[in-house]
Structure 1
Amino acid sequence: MRQVWITKAGRPEVLQVKDAPDPAPVAGEVRIRVEASGVNFADILARLGIYPDLPGLPAVVGYEVAGRVDAVGPGVDAQWIGRDVFAATHFGGYSDVICAPQDQVFIRPADMSAEEGAALPVNYLTAWQLVVVMGALKPGETMLVHSAGGGVGIAATQIAKHLGARVIGVASQWKHAELERLGADWFIDARAEPLEARVKDITKGRGVELVLDPNAGSSFKRSFRMLAPTGRLGMFGVSSFVNAKERDLLNVLRALIATPLFQFMPMTLINANKGVFGVNLGRMWGETDRLRRWSTDLLALWNAGAIRPRIDKAFALEEAALAHHYLQDRKNLGKVLLKP
Structure 2
Amino acid sequence: MNATTNPMNPTHTEQRTEVVLPGKIEPEDLQLRRGPIPAPGAGQVVVRMEATGVSFAEQQMRRGRYYDQPPFPFVPGYDLVGTVQAAGTGVDGALIGTRVAALTKTGGWASHVLLDAADVVEVPEGVGAAEAETAVVNGITAWQMLHRKARIRSGQTILVHGANGGVGSLLVQLALTAGVRVIGTASARHHDTLRALGVTPVDYRTENIPARVGQLAPGGVDAVFDHVGGPGLSDSWHLLAPGGTLVSYGSAATRDDTGSKQWPVLKLLGRLWMWNTLPNGRHACFFNVWAGKALSENRFRARLRTDLTQVLTALQRGDITATVAAELPLARAAEALRLAESGTVSGKVVLVP
Normalised by the length of structure 2, the TM-score is: 0.88
Partner of residue 228, structure 1: 241
Partner of residue 40, structure 2: 25
**Amino acid across the alignment from 1:330:** G
Partner of residue 209, structure 2: 195
C-alpha RMSD over aligned residues? 2.1
Supply the distance in 2 between the matched residues of 1:267 and 1:77 (Cα, whole angstroms).
47
Partner of residue 312, structure 2: 299
1:16 to 31, 48, 69: 31
The answer as to whether partners of 1:241 and 1:252 remain within 8 angstroms in 2 is no
Q: 1:161 offset after TM fit, Å?
A: 0.7
The answer as to whether partners of 2:64 and 2:261 remain within 8 angstroms in 1 is no
List alignment gaps of at least 5 residues for structure 2: 1-15
Which aligned pairs between 1:308-327 and structure 2 lie closer than 5 A? 308-327=321-340
Which aligned pairs between 1:1-340 and structure 2 lie closer than 5 A? 1-181=16-196, 183-203=197-217, 205-243=218-256, 248-249=258-259, 259=268, 264-265=273-274, 268-270=277-279, 272-283=280-291, 285=293, 286=297, 287-340=300-353
**Amino acid across the alignment from 2:74:** A
Partner of residue 9, structure 2: none
Supply the distance in 1 between the matched residues of 2:102 and 2:268 (Cα, whole angstroms).
34
Supply the distance in 1 between the matched residues of 2:161 and 2:246 (Cα, whole angstroms).
11
Alpha carbons of structure 1 residues 22 and 212: separation in structure 2 relative to 1, 3 Å: same
Percent of paired sites with the same residue: 33
Please identify, of 22-31 and 162-171, the stretch whose mean Cα deviation from structure 2 is larger.
Answer: 22-31
Render the CA deviation track for 1:147-168: whole Å, top value 9, x for unaligned.
1111110111111011100111
Give 3-state SS (helix, strand or coil) of 1:140's partner.
Answer: coil
The answer as to whether partners of 2:65 and 2:261 remain within 8 angstroms in 1 is no
Q: 1:283 offset after TM fit, Å?
A: 4.0
Supply the distance in 2 between the matched residues of 1:307 and 1:317 (Cα, whole angstroms).
27
Render the CA deviation track for 1:190-247: whole Å, top value 9, x for unaligned.
11111011001111x211111000111212111101111111100101111113xxx6
**Amino acid across the alignment from 1:275:** H
List alignment gaps of at least 5 residues for structure 1: none
Q: 1:267 offset after TM fit, Å?
A: 6.8
Please identify, of 291-300 and 62-71, the stretch whose mean Cα deviation from structure 2 is larger.
Answer: 291-300
Please identify, of 309-318 and 275-284, the stretch whose mean Cα deviation from structure 2 is larger.
Answer: 275-284
Give 3-state SS (helix, strand or coil) of 1:24's partner.
Answer: coil
**Amino acid across the alignment from 1:273:** G
Supply the distance in 2 between the matched residues of 1:68 and 1:267 (Cα, whole angstroms).
44
The answer as to whether partners of 1:168 and 1:184 remain within 8 angstroms in 2 is no
Q: 1:61 offset after TM fit, Å?
A: 1.3
Normalised by the length of structure 1, the TM-score is: 0.92
Q: 1:258 offset after TM fit, Å?
A: 7.9
Supply the distance in 2 between the matched residues of 1:256 and 1:65 (Cα, whole angstroms).
26
Please identify, of 296-305 and 132-141, the stretch whose mean Cα deviation from structure 2 is larger.
Answer: 296-305
Supply the distance in 2 between the matched residues of 1:258 and 1:217 (Cα, whole angstroms).
10
The answer as to whether partners of 1:218 and 1:258 remain within 8 angstroms in 2 is no
Supply the distance in 2 between the matched residues of 1:225 and 1:14 (Cα, whole angstroms).
43
